[in-house]
Structure 1
Amino acid sequence: MKNKLIDVSDVGWEYWSHEKDYGSHQKHIGDTAGAERVGVTMEKLAPGMTSALSHYHTKEEEHIYAMQGEATLYLDGEPHVFSEGKYICFTANSGVAHKFVNTSDADFIFLVVGNRDAHDVVVYPETNKVLVRSMNEVYSRRPSSYFDKDED
């Protein structure tokens, strides 16, 4: 149903994780309200957890607003305090890799808003990998010539 009025407190938390220290609880608010082009997600990052590997998007713009608590925001490896009331926008293809680490003793709750683009490529500089969204596959980032053959 489109144009659906919702009460965010009625939206359940879903748990997402990769590895033991990477994960968060998420409320997919936009999906629940019928959003098609823009994602709106409330995330809760527990103490000691990391939101994701440092990354940036080539086609998607991300807006992040801190609602409650505090975490360390890493921008190209440099730490910054990101606490309640702070906001940042990551424009598409900015090349600024980012991640959150909750080094506090309380949950960090933040809102993520961004456009959805099926042709987005997510770049992970820490691991030298890329996620090709349209294929939902991760590859090693190895620039090569068009005619180079992969070694078997």
Structure 2
Amino acid sequence: MTEIRTVELGIGDQAPYFDLPRDGGGRVRLPDFAGKPFVLFFYPKDDTTACTAESVSFTAHAADFEKAGAAILGISPDSVRSHDKFVKKHALSVPLASDEEKIAAEAYGVWRQKSMYGRTFMGVVRSTFLIGADGKIVRIWDKVKVGGHAQDVLAAVKEL
């Protein structure tokens, strides 16, 4: 099967702009993070096993990311209402943006053709972007495996 990917971002590319609604109300935009590094993680669905483990892990390390001078933002196609329930249920402290129209997912190249149990469908491929203080992509983790991922990202942040 050929993987469909409309955007191919690389190291040194300018991070694509986004302006999305977020959990708890309000909006979050790329310029909100200007002047400091930040971690942008895309995940498929609230309250699923791997997505919960990933979000809980970033929350567990949130103070370490803050100490290293980096912000964190999670994005999925779920609604703000879904994010609010997810945050409350798992006591998450990382902000979550709602990308129901998949605009950010497409801009970052993570909305792709996937396959499971012989069925092909479009979905978010779990991916993380480390974006530098200048708004340029410093590192990309594609097809993320959750175990130890937040710690790997934190180590990369500390290397900046």
Band the TM-score falls in, shorter-chain normalisation: under 0.3
State the TM-score, normalized to the length of structure 1.
0.27
Structure label with greater radius of gyration: 1
Q: Which has the higher strand share?
A: 1
- Larger relative CO (CA 8 A, sep 6+): 1 or 2? 2
Q: Which has the higher helix share?
A: 2
